Amino acid sequence: MSSRNGRVRNAVVVDSPTTSPTSCPACRADLERLTRRRPPTVEKDWPVLSVVDLFCGCGGMTIGLLEAAADAKRRLRIPLAVDDDPTAADTFLRNFPSAGIECAKVESLIDGELGAPLTAMESRLPRKVGPVSILVAGPPCQGHSDLNNKTRRNDPRNALYARVARAAVVLKPAVVIVENVPQVANDHGQVVDLTACALEAAGYRVHLTTLDLRKVGVPQRRKRHVLLAVSGSTPSPREILDGLGGGCADHVRTVEWAIGDLEDVEPVTAFDRASTPSPENRERIDKLFDENIHDLDNDDRPPCHRDKKHTYRSMYGRLWWDQPAQTITTGFGSMGQGRYVHPTRRRTITPHEAARLQTIPDYVQLGLEAKRGAWAQMIGNAVPAFLTRALGRALIPHLTPLNDDDVAWAAKGVGRSSGHVTATPPARGTGW
């Protein structure tokens, strides 16, 4: 794919048609950021903040904080990032080569229970990690999602949400940010209430909200549950979340805003190539375009998706240029997983296009040698970077940077792994 000078064609935004993204200075500036090939410039003499990222994946949450920190003339130190997917951990390290990346399960490092004394493992962590400005976490959400049946609501992964509160007790960050699907609030184990109460008992002020990510500039119809906990003199979490911005008041960002500059040209890498549909799905894609429709009639859907209450109408659908995308998931390469057919091309969206819709900038290295399934997992599971960018912009000016001793100590590599990510995750990361 190639870029048409970073510009997109005019779009009519049906959600809020007052102004189009292409006539908006903020939208143009954000598109320039999204399409740039180099990360933001960081000066060595800027004050330093420390970020720990649990369930880090390919780094969506940290990428957003990196952007916000650069805006505030701050540098980031990442003493600890944890994920048990080797490909995701390797990708994180590729983009943050000085990070202390641990390819391990979070519960193998944060292995104590709420209210219990610190374990031997947990007692070592603060000495290795050092002071923490912001702890971010996006625990697995599959057990909570509407895309899963009710039996999955008891998924043991749901308890990982509360593990973040334990991490806060161990590491004592100034700020805690936890992102998940809105349905997490209805978890049978009441993990959100348990987590909030544990954080309040540890001295944090906590606020919970369900946020429409269009508000922070994400070109998706995507709502997410956000827990924000703050300590010290940081403004109240309610004030931060209620005043969150990053989008534009009179319009939303569209599919065309995010990917309209990308064109199909040959040759292309696999990252810029759509998955190959089955013959049946090829016919369905052709029908969408031949009849200029965005949803298939019931009879044109597979029998398993006809007249079923659990079926989402968007499945087997085609995106609109002038509207936000639906939520990007790991199934973006299959029309049977959602509305993922390109607005003007007879194919599903590519990994590159899905990354753009997730507000992952082009400078992020997702590994051209990665398998399509790995891209789907990393991109679909990522937290849109614009969410933590908006939170970071509101929070970072109020955070105290590390002092000179902490910065000098961090520069010696304390809290960093060797930079090696093992092919098979060990029971307890590397170097702890």
Regarding whether 290 and 172 lie in a shared domain, the answer is no
Helix (H/G/I), strand (E/B), else coil: 117: coil
pLDDT for 367: 82
Within a domain: 78:
yes
Q: Are strands 134-137 and 48-54 parallel, antiparallel or unpaired?
A: parallel
Regarding whether 331 and 208 lie in a shared domain, the answer is no
Regarding whether 137 and 66 lie in a shared domain, the answer is yes
pLDDT for 417: 44
Within a domain: 403:
yes
| Mean pLDDT for back-to-back runs of 10 residues, the chain (432 residues) | 34 42 88 96 96 98 98 97 97 97 97 96 96 97 51 61 97 98 89 96 97 97 97 94 85 96 85 95 97 92 68 85 97 96 98 98 88 94 98 97 72 41 35 39
Using alpha carbons only, give the angle 179, 101, 156 rounded to the nearest 5 degrees: 45
Structure-block tokens of residue 412: 């010696």
Within a domain: 422:
no
Using alpha carbons only, give the angle 308, 312, 314 rounded to the nearest 5 degrees: 135
Q: Amino acid letter at 26? A: A
pLDDT for 431: 38
| Beta-bridge mates of residue 180 | 225
pLDDT for 73: 98
Domain ends where: 331, 349, 367?
Answer: 349
Within a domain: 366:
no
Determine which helix (DSSP H) or strand (DSSP E) holds 289, and give its type and residue range. helix 279-290
Structure-block tokens of residue 235: 């403004």
Within a domain: 415:
no
CATH of the domain at 168: 3.40.50.150
Within a domain: 416:
no
Is pTM beyond 0.95? Reply is no
Regarding whether 62 and 129 lie in a shared domain, the answer is yes
Regarding whether 148 and 33 lie in a shared domain, the answer is yes
- Out of 56, 103, 141, 248, the active site residue is 141
Regarding whether 344 and 302 lie in a shared domain, the answer is yes
The total of structural domains in the chain comes to 2
Determine which helix (DSSP H) or strand (DSSP E) holds 164, and give its type and residue range. helix 160-171
* Boundaries of domain holding 387: 2-253+382-407
pLDDT for 247: 78
Question: Would you report the helix, strand and coil content of the chain in percent, each value rounded to 5?
Answer: 40, 15, 50
pLDDT, tens digit (0-9, with 9 covering 90-100), for 81-140 = 999 999 999 999 999 999 999 999 999 999 999 999 999 999 999 999 999 999 999 999
pLDDT for 215: 95
Q: How many C-beta neighbours within 10 Å does residue 100 have?
A: 27
Regarding whether 233 and 278 lie in a shared domain, the answer is no
Domain ends where: 329, 349, 369?
Answer: 349
Using alpha carbons only, give the angle 85, 89, 92 rounded to the nearest 5 degrees: 145
Q: Which of 85, 101, 82 is nearest to 93 (CA)?
A: 101
pLDDT for 121: 96
Within a domain: 424:
no
Regarding whether 47 and 135 lie in a shared domain, the answer is yes
pLDDT for 304: 72
pLDDT for 314: 81
DSSP 14-39: SSSTTS-GGG-HHHHHHHHHHH-SSP
Within the chain, what is the greatest distance between any pair of CA atoms? 68
Q: Which of 312, 144, 279 is nearest to 304 (CA)?
A: 312
Regarding whether 295 and 166 lie in a shared domain, the answer is no
Regarding whether 278 and 201 lie in a shared domain, the answer is no
pLDDT, tens digit (0-9, with 9 covering 90-100), for 266-282 = 767 889 999 999 999 99
- Reported as half-sphere exposure (CB side, CA atoms, 13 A), residue 133 has a value of 26
Is 197 one of the annotated active-site residues of the chain?
no
Regarding whether 249 and 278 lie in a shared domain, the answer is no
Q: Amino acid letter at 205? A: R
Rg value, the chain, Cα: 21
Within a domain: 262:
no
Start-end of H helices in 20-105: 25-35, 60-71, 86-95
What lies within 8 Å, CB to CB, of 401 at 6+ separation is 47, 48, 49, 74, 133
Regarding whether 22 and 61 lie in a shared domain, the answer is yes
